[in-house]
Each structure stands twice: as structure tokens, then as C-alpha cells.
């Protein structure tokens, strides 16, 4: 997730990156995507794209409205530290995922932001290839636990989840992928409700990557509930991610997603990042990528969390939605308060991270015989303190948990 705010760093050279992390802990059999599920998912996605394309031809384009992007920001509080001077990508000179950029003004201050996809006031269908990379980890240090924790064990469930498979969402009645349904809902009254406005992920699963975690960089431990939980050094893990971006020939126009199973990075169950690289041709490339762990039911109970917290794809959904609203870790807002008990009773942030304030507001979606866990997400209008909200039914979050804009903090 960016599931609580973490380290945002200056990006300007290979090996450096900006991050938005997600909580949570402090601890020292491979499957294929079923052919039937793959075919059904493809048919559903094709149907959604076809209807969107048909609607787009019959709609007149609306005038572009000014929208936000940040050159410098500091995020106080949170589990990590966060300071950074962010590069402002321009479509003409940067190779990266498709996005739009604008700003809003609140009490005399202008706040910039960037979103993946098109401006909802000038809507069209945007498709981004998501490269899903299962990470199979072998720990040199294991305390009463099996040293092998494999992301490939859950990759089939990830690919048949609402992150990639269109589903019906009771909150709005919309039928789409989770992050797309959310983005449509948060801009509902300014074009998000149009069939021509979609930002969709098409997954590409790569072969599992096998990594050995040195004893100095991680440990897996058998907790009291019998579920092994691994933790790796964030620096080591980040180095592996950035190396794989190159070795797997992932394009900056793609969105890389690294999947682990019951493994976090220094207390983070997930994060999304941006990495700026100068290419041999002199052009700038910005890679956007995320890591998320699949947590088995109750995995975090020994650490004081509810049994339903962060199960299966909740972390991944959180990160994908935050990537969609803040792909370069540059979307800023007036400061707002959030908490992630028991580890974070009170924190203050000024970055548009849509999942951080609502991590415990969980709902379920059944698909292909499995019940997936997802969470409520804060709308753009909540961060921008807009009245009325631009969101679905005048809400300030996907499920309607927030009925009014955010309040300040320091």
C-alpha cells in the first residue's frame, strides 16, 4: 500500500527513487493463472473496452478544466521520513505512463497533482500494461519457520482479483476494475460518470523471480498463530526491484508490480515508487512501480491488528489506487490527519495518498470462488476540501465513509 506514508526521496539518477510506503509489522507450490479464468477475464475486459469505445464516439469532448504537481514537499509523521524535490514530467520530453497534470487552489495556496489516465473533463479510455512479477524468496535466516515464502503461490489469485478483473461494485453500481471504478467515482460529476472515461490495467505475468535474502538483510519468523511472516531490509529490496526493472526489460510506459507472500520491507506491507533514469539517448524515463504483499487471513493478529486487516489483495488495491492518483509521488494537498493503530496513533500528511486514511474500512468482492478484501478510498475532493464534492453522490470517499472534506493538522 502507500499504507502509511513512508519515504519520498529525490529522484534524478539511476538508483535513486521516491516512495510511498504502507505499514505494518516489526519482525525480525507455484500456480498458473487458470485458463478458464483468463478467458473470462479477457472477455469481460474486452466487453468493457468495447462499450467505452462506442460511447466515446458519441460524446462531445468537454473543455479541459484546470486541475494539480509538486516541486517540493515534506511529509511529517508517518512510519518513515519523507522529503523530496520532485521532477515535473512533461509529455514531450519524458517517457513514462500516460497521465494528466493540473492544480487546485485552497486558501490562496496552489497545490499541484498528477493522475494516471486522462483528464475526466476531457475523457477517454487509457490502457496501461501492468507487469506482474512474483517474487519467490528464500531466507538464509529463519526462526522456527520454513525459509521459503513464494509470491508465485498467490499469483493466480492476484490475476483473477478485482485489481484486474472487472467486477460490480455495490458502492456505486459501477462495473470495472477496482482502481478504475474508484477513479471514475471520485470525478463522477465532472466526467467520471461517462462511459468514455476509464483507466484500465492489462496484466502481463512474468515467470517467478527467485531471490535469496541474506541473513543480514532479512528474517522469516513463525509467529504464535502459525503463519510465517518475513521482513526484509528496504534498501536490499529496493535494489532488487530496480535491478529487475532492467533485467526483465520493463518499459517505463508499463507499471511494474512486485508480489510477495507474507513478506514486508522494514514494516511496510507495500509501497509505490517512482524512479527517474537518464536513458542513453539523453531522454528522461520515469519508471513507476509498486510492491505489495499478499497476507494470509489473520497474519497480523499477533501484532495487534484485526483478523480482516490487509488480507489478500487489500494492500495491492491500496497501492494501485494510490499510484493512479499520485504516480510520481508529487500530488500535494493541504495537510490532513490519519492513524494506523496500534503502530501509528496520529500522523499528518500533505500528499494525496488515497488509502492511508481509510485502511480499516474494508469490504469484500467475490470472484471465481474466492472472497477478496478491498478498502474504502478517499476522493480527490476530500484532499482538495471542495464543497460540494465532485465525487459520486456528493461523497468524499468510495464507500461514503467520509461525508465532509479533510481537516487540517500539523
Q: Show Cβ contacts of residue 380 under 8 Å, excluding neighbours closer than 6 positions.
A: 113, 186, 187, 325, 352, 386, 390, 391
**Strand 370-375 and strand 83-85: pairing?**
unpaired
Q: How far apart are CA 169 and CA 156, in angstroms?
A: 22
Of 267 and 101, which is predicted with more confidence? Answer: 101
Of 72 and 352, which is predicted with more confidence? Answer: 352
Percentage of residues in the chain having pLDDT higher than 70: 78
Q: How far apart are CA 124 and CA 62, in angstroms?
A: 11
- At 60 the pLDDT is 24
Model confidence pLDDT, tens digit, residues 80-115: 222 223 344 555 678 999 999 999 999 999 999 999
Q: How far apart are CA 224 and CA 205, in angstroms?
A: 34
Q: SS3 of 396, please?
A: coil
Q: SS3 of 346, please?
A: strand
Q: Quick one: how far is CA 23 from the chain centroid?
A: 13
- At 17 the pLDDT is 53
Q: SS3 of 242, please?
A: helix
Model confidence pLDDT, tens digit, residues 200-238: 999 999 999 999 999 999 999 998 888 999 999 999 999
Model confidence pLDDT, tens digit, residues 301-346: 988 899 999 999 999 999 999 999 999 999 999 999 988 877 777 8
**Strand 125-139 and strand 209-213: pairing?**
parallel
Percentage of residues in the chain having pLDDT higher than 90: 70
Indicate if the pLDDT at residue 382 is higher than 50: yes
- At 361 the pLDDT is 96
Q: Show Cβ contacts of residue 244 under 8 Å, excluding neighbours closer than 6 positions.
A: 133, 209, 250, 256, 258
Of 177 and 266, which is predicted with more confidence? Answer: 177
Query: Strand (E) positions, 295-368?
Result: 332-340, 344-351, 362-367
Model confidence pLDDT, tens digit, residues 27-39: 322 222 222 333 3
Indicate if the pLDDT at residue 73 is higher than 80: no
Over residues 361-371, the mean pLDDT reads: 96
- Residue 325: name the closest of 186, 194, 169, 201 by CA: 186
- At 336 the pLDDT is 96
Amino acid at each position: 500500500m502507500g499504507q502509511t506514508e513512508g519515504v519520498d526521496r529525490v529522484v534524478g539518477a539511476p538508483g535513486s527513487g521516491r516512495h510511498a510506503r504502507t505499514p505494518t509489522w516489526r519482525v525480525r507450490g507455484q500456480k498458473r493463472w487458470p485458463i478458464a479464468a483468463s478467458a473470462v477475464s479477457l472477455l469481460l475486459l474486452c466487453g468493457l473496452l468495447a462499450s467505452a469505445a462506442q460511447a466515446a464516439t458519441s460524446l462531445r469532448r468537454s473543455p479541459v478544466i484546470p486541475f494539480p504537481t509538486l516541486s517540493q514537499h515534506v511529509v511529517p509523521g508517518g512510519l518513515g521520513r519523507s522529503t523530496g524535490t520532485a521532477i515535473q514530467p512533461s509529455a514531450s520530453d519524458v517517457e513514462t505512463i500516460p497521465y494528466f497534470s493540473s492544480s487546485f487552489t485552497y486558501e490562496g495556496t496552489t497545490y499541484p497533482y498528477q493522475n494516471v489516465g486522462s483528464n475526466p473533463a476531457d475523457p477517454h479510455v487509457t490502457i496501461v500494461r501492468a507487469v506482474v512479477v512474483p517474487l519467490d524468496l528464500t531466507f538464509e535466516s529463519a526462526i522456527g519457520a520454513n525459509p521459503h515464502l513464494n509470491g508465485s503461490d498467490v499469483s493466480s489469485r492476484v490475476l483473477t482479483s478485482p485489481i484486474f478483473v472487472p467486477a460490480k461494485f455495490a458502492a456505486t453500481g459501477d462495473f470495472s476494475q477496482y482502481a478504475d471504478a474508484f477513479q471514475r467515482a471520485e470525478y463522477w460529476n465532472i466526467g467520471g460518470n461517462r462511459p468514455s472515461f476509464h483507466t484500465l490495467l492489462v496484466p502481463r505475468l512474468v515467470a517467478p523471480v527467485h531471490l535469496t535474502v541474506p541473513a543480514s538483510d532479512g528474517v522469516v519468523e513463525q509467529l504464535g498463530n502459525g503463519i510465517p511472516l518475513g521482513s526484509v531490509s528496504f534498501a536490499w529490496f529496493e535494489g532488487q526491484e530496480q535491478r529487475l526493472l532492467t533485467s526483465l526489460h520493463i518499459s517505463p510506459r508499463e507499471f511494474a508490480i512486485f508480489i510477495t507472500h507474507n513478506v514486508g520491507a522494514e514494516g511496510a506491507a507495500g509501497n509505490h515508487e517512482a524512479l527517474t533514469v537518464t536513458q542513453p539517448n539523453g531522454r528522461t524515463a520515469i519508471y513507476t512501480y509498486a510492491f505489495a504483499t499478499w497476507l494470509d487471513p489473520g497474519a497480523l493478529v499477533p501484532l495487534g491488528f484485526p483478523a480482516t486487516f490487509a488480507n489478500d489483495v487489500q494492500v495491492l488495491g491500496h497501492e494501485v489506487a494510490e499510484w493512479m492518483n499520485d504516480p510520481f509521488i508529487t500530488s500535494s494537498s493541504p495537510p490532513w490527519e490519519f492513524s494506523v493503530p496500534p503502530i501509528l496513533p496520529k500522523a499528518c500528511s500533505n500528499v494525496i495518498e488515497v488509502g492511508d486514511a481509510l485502511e480499516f474500512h474494508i469490504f469484500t468482492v467475490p470472484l471465481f470462488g474466492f472472497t477478496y478484501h478491498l478498502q474504502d478510498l478517499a476522493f480527490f475532493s476530500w484532499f482538495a476540501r471542495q464543497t460540494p464534492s465532485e465525487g459520486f453522490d456528493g461523497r468524499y470517499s468510495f464507500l461514503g465513509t467520509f461525508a465532509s472534506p479533510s481537516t487540517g493538522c500539523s
